Amino acid sequence: MKKLWNALAVASLAVSFASITSAQDSVNLPTIGEVVRDDAAIDSLIAKETPIQVLSSGFEWSEGPVWVPAQGNEPGYLLFSDIPRNSIMKWVEGKGVSLFLKPAGYTGQVEYGNEPGSNGLLLDAQGQLVACEHGDRRVSVLTQGGGKRTLVDNYEGKRLNSPNDATFKSNGDLYFTDPPYGLPKQYDDSRRELDFCGVYRLSKDGKLTLLTKEMTRPNGIAFSPDEKTLYVAQSDPDAAIWKSFPVKSDGTLGEGKLFYDATENFKKGLPGLPDGMDVDSKGNIFATGPGGVYVFNPGGKLLGRISTGEKTANCKFGGPNGDQLYMTADMYICRIQTLTK
């Protein structure tokens, strides 16, 4: 995988890190939360007594973690979004956090709501950074020359709401969700041009296909290992659910089915809603929701929950061996060692 280029960020940016205070250059990391074990099967995924480590803190609202593998003499590192600050941050083991890119999701000249920055981040087959951008209402790629290129910003001539999260299929097609969270007034914003929140596929040839508009607030998105199922989170307080969609041979989706309903947990006061997710090599789903990161087996059985005690927005596997789960939990960046990858 080729090196990510961030010359654009280095050349033009400055930010104060005075409020980012925790675990900046230390290997002695504080811990939070606990692992709630609902089924003994979770012990094969997360060993007992494994702590949730806090890597850094002081962010406005962290999101979109993605692990960038080591290249040559450069160690691997974590990138993540701080949406309100319109920034992408970089965390390196033992060194802490630095600014990677700003502006990250909004390049306009006037104030643009509370969540203008990038959200979901991922790498394409060339190792380039792909970002779901709230303020600029597009999915972009940071090219190897350091400049950005728009991958998609409209559906049938109408601007997207605010792309939220995305995942690549092995053939290079990009699947993404488009709720209205990045718009200053969200659903009621006069700048909305689409009257629905869609799940889309952007084919390698640039063709955009609307796959479904049945979900009120589509958010996190991930494939099963065999790519026969697409999971989509719905961050709706009245229907805090995950759905599973069969993936047809042409890449479109069949009828969605309820995978899990966490609405009651939200109503009980557990913090957060269904949001970002990742899937391990055996098909177990790690999905953020009310009360932390839910761990499901492929059949939808809840095995347990990684409870951070905070609204937990997203999670992705990474680290040198791919077996560490990185989590964005409100102001924190967290990590837990797993027995899977």
- pLDDT, tens digit, for every residue of 157-169? 999 999 999 999 9
Please tell me which of 5-9, 85-89, 107-111 the model is most confident about, judged by mean pLDDT.
Answer: 85-89
Using alpha carbons, list the distances in angstroms from residue 327 to 33, 93, 297, 317, 318.
12, 15, 19, 9, 10
- By C-alpha distance, which of 291, 306, 286 is closest to 50? 306
Nearest 10 degrees: Cα torsion 107, 163, 334, 4: -60
pLDDT, one tens digit per residue, over 191-220 is 999 999 999 999 999 999 999 999 999 999
pLDDT at 24: 58
- Tens digit of each residue's pLDDT (9 = 90 or more) over 110-126: 999 999 999 999 999 99
∠215-275-5 over CA atoms, to 5°? Answer: 115
Is pLDDT above 90 for 19?
A: no
What are the CA-CA distances from residue 68 to residues 33, 129, 153, 313 (Å)? 26, 9, 25, 19
Q: What is the mean pLDDT of the chain?
A: 93
- DSSP calls for 74-97: BPPEEEEEEGGGTEEEEEETTTEE
Instruction: Judge whether 179 and 189 are in contact, CB under 8 Å.
Output: no
**Domains defined for the chain, CATH in brackets:** 7-13+57-273 (2.120.10.30)
Residues in CB range of 286: below 8 A, 6 or more apart:
277, 278, 279, 280, 293, 294, 295, 306, 315, 317, 325
Confidence (pLDDT) at 275: 98
Residue 23 has pLDDT above 70, yes or no: no
How large is the average pLDDT for residues 125-145?
Answer: 96
Rounded to the nearest 5 percent, the helix, strand and coil shares of the chain are 5, 45, 50
The more confidently predicted of residues 9 and 160 is 160
| Confidence band for 26, pLDDT divided at 50, 70 and 90 | low
pLDDT in tens, 248-290: 999 999 999 999 999 999 999 999 999 999 999 999 999 999 9
pLDDT exceeds cutoff 50 at 139: yes
* pLDDT(29) > 90: no
Query: Do 130 and 101 form a contact (C-beta atoms < 8 A)?
Result: no
Give pLDDT, residue 327: 98
User: Strand, helix or coil at 109?
Assistant: coil
